Amino acid sequence: MKKPTIHPYGRFGLFELNFQTGELRKQGMKIKLGQQAFKALTLLLQPSGQVRTREELQSQLWPAGTFVDFDHSLNKAIHNLRAALGDSAINPRYIETVVGQGYRFISIPQQLCGPAVRPRNARVGSLAVLPFANQPSGSETEFINERITERIIDTLSRTPGVRVLAYSTVQRYREKDLNPRVVGQDLLVGAVVAGEMAWRNDKLLLHVELIDVDDGTQLWGEQFEETCSDVLARPEKLTDRICDQLRPIVAPNRKKALQGTVKLSSAALARGLIGASPLGCSEAGPGPILVGGSSSPGCEDRGSSRSNRSGGNR
């Protein structure tokens, strides 16, 4: 059987996999990936979209004569792979479980040729923040889910140039099996924020991602782990952390624009203070400007000398 051509790099979303070295990187940052997880990802990527049966994965991951609990070991390898990608079995973006068969890599635009090029510095014009999938569901956890979603919407809606749909518009999209890309197309937005909340004992595990509606790629993703009591007491702390990471992706030029405004304002302020001479002292040079209403010492001296000369002429 002829082996498929192996390209040196595989790109998907924000990730880049080097098939030769086994390195997985996310926007240039190396991500820890075990040997079995790497082998599984390589098989799933080539070709992307093809279902790989559990038997096929087992034969490729472990050579003949290996004594191991294949089911447990394969489940662990897939779990580790999803953890490295920030993926979810409930709401998968990359690795999909095909019941009764095996696993499939969800096809998204890829580049299998060379090193990754940094994504374009373009802002998101419109955005929908969907309620997070919530496991297990309850009145208290749903209340927190609603509070976090609303605050993210409120915060991002204050970003100039970005249209964010209101919570009343998106609150009906609560089902965990909804396709965020399809929802985004239905809402006529450029990107969707979606995620999954899992409450485990005294911990809240939250996976959030920003998805490009046009091509389904992940523009950003992150996992958060918080103590339940902290989230219940102050959900805004977690929400602000999420928004701090989302804002530069949604509006990448905003920080530079603000810095430019601050520099321009500071320069204009300095020119105004230096040029505005107290007591009509137009010839004042670039001497020190004192805070608190005091004028430049040079002006005071020149003003005093004028007064003395005027007094002497009387």
How many Å apart are CA 226 and CA 239, to the nearest integer?
11
Task: Tell me which of 31-35, 89-93, 159-163, 261-265 is least confident.
Answer: 261-265
The domain locations on the chain are 9-105, 126-252, 255-303
Task: Tell me which of 82-86, 118-122, 132-136, 188-192 is least confident.
Answer: 118-122
Looking at domain 126-252, which of 3.40.50.720, 3.30.1330.20, 1.10.3720.10, 3.40.50.10610 is its CATH number?
Answer: 3.40.50.10610
Beta strands in the chain (DSSP E): 9-12, 15-18, 24-26, 29-31, 52-53, 95-98, 102-105, 126-129, 133-135, 163-164, 191-200, 203-212, 218-227
- Residue 272: pLDDT band (50, 70, 90) is low
How many Å apart are CA 202 and CA 207, to the nearest integer?
17
Asked if residues 234 and 151 have their Cβ atoms less than 8 Å apart, the reply is no
Would you say the pTM of this structure is higher than 0.85?
Answer: no
Mean residue pLDDT across the chain = 75
Predicted local confidence at residue 239, as pLDDT = 94
Interval 213-238 mean pLDDT? 89
% residues pLDDT > 90 (the chain): 19
9-105 classified as CATH 1.25.40.20: no
